[in-house]
């Protein structure tokens, strides 16, 4: 990657600032890697690689969710840095080519986790004031407290993203030189990054899966293998599987809705004691 310009740094700061706020406010979907990474890729001059990194990193984060005060490695900084490393290392725009970048990005994702925890810690002292504002119906005071939290969180993410942008670019060049001498290091990072995608999806399945769902999982797995093995359908495997899944979901919803309607009609048609039926 060429030298980072001031404009690129400012744009990365703005994106990280907005995404940092979005993860708890706004739409709460813009911050996902599938959205953030292509934007960062476009800023760094490789939109296609940003899309690939975003899709691959999304699989890592798909099962990660905050539980109480415990925060998972942050998707925003992890996605931004994975894109930075992928562009710096001139990786191919394929899912297999970005594994090392995702492995390198995880430590930066942990920094994002610390930023969230630090912000929550700072703002916890403001809750008493927020309660007092609520008692006094002080809408402006509550609004200012929320704006303060957004400003702190967004600024932290922006600064960390810019620092990672410059540091990651320099580190990427170093890693590129080391990869020619110590290829096994990059191979290990690539394997680790590839494995994390399956870990993220496994976490999601552990939460969602029930005994009734295993049949659909196996059927989808078989369909994906058959579609990918056929040259005419391999390029649209995910879309075809998604349409089949939507069709099954619509059918299941329709059947269950009819069952509930019939059960309700049967209950309403039952006679009472007064008519002797």
Domain boundary among 162, 179, 208: 208
What are the CA-CA distances from residue 164 to residues 46, 53, 70, 105 (Å)? 18, 17, 23, 10
The model's pLDDT over 54-104, given as tens digits with 9 standing for 90+, comes to 888 887 777 666 655 556 778 888 889 888 888 877 766 555 557 667 777
> Shortest CA distance to 82 belongs to which of 74, 266, 238, 246?
74
Last residue of a domain, one of 184, 208, 232: 208
Kindly state whether residue 126 falls inside one of the protein's structural domains. Answer: yes
Q: Are 58 and 76 in contact (CB under 8 A)?
A: no
Condensed to tens digits (0 to 9), the pLDDT of residues 245-274 reads 899 889 988 988 888 777 766 555 555 555
Assign 3-state DSSP to the chain and report helix, strand, coil percentages, each to 5: 80, 0, 20
Task: Domain of residue 238: give its range.
Answer: 211-266
On whether both 99 and 18 belong to a single domain, the answer is: yes
Distance CA 258, CA 80 (A): 47
Count of the separate structural domains present in the chain: 2
Statement to judge: residues 172 and 232 lie in one domain = no
The reply to whether 75 and 159 lie within a common domain is: yes
Torsion on CA atoms 104, 110, 111, 112, rounded to nearest 10:
110
- The answer on 132 and 53 residing in a single domain is yes
Note whether 222 and 154 are same-domain residues: no
pLDDT of residue 38: 93
Whether residues 122 and 52 fall in one domain: yes
Give the model confidence (pLDDT) of 185-241 as tens digits.
556 655 665 666 666 667 667 766 677 778 888 888 898 889 888 888 888 888 888
Q: Are residues 237 and 223 in the same domain?
A: yes
Does 187 lie in the same domain as 92?
yes
């Amino acid at each position: 990657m060429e030298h980072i310009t001031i404009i690129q740094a400012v744009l990365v700061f703005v994106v990280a600032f907005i995404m940092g706020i979005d993860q708890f406010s706004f739409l709460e979907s813009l911050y996902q890697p599938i959205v953030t990474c292509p934007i960062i890729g476009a800023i760094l001059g490789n939109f296609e690689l940003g899309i690939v990194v975003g899709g691959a990193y999304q699989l890592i984060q798909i099962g990660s969710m905050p539980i109480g005060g415990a925060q998972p490695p942050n998707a925003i900084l992890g996605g931004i840095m994975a894109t930075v490393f992928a562009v710096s290392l001139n990786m191919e725009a394929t899912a297999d080519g970005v594994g090392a970048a995702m492995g390198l990005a995880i430590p930066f994702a942990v920094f994002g986790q610390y930023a969230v925890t630090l912000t929550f810690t700072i703002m916890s002292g403001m809750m008493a004031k927020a309660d007092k504002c609520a008692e006094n119906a002080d809408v402006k005071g509550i609004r200012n407290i929320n704006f303060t939290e957004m400003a702190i969180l967004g600024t932290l993410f922006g600064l960390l993203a810019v620092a990672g942008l410059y540091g990651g670019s320099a580190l990427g060049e170093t890693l590129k030189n080391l990869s020619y001498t110590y290829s096994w290091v990059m191979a290990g990072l690539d394997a680790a990054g590839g494995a994390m995608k399956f870990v993220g999806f496994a976490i999601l399945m552990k939460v969602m899966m029930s005994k009734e769902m295993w049949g659909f999982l196996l059927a989808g797995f078989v369909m994906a293998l058959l579609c990918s093995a056929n040259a005419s359908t391999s390029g649209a495997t995910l879309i075809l599987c998604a349409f089949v899944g939507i069709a099954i979901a619509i059918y299941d919803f329709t059947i269950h809705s009819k069952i509930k309607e019939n059960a309700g009609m049967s209950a309403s048609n039952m006679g009472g004691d007064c008519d002797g039926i």
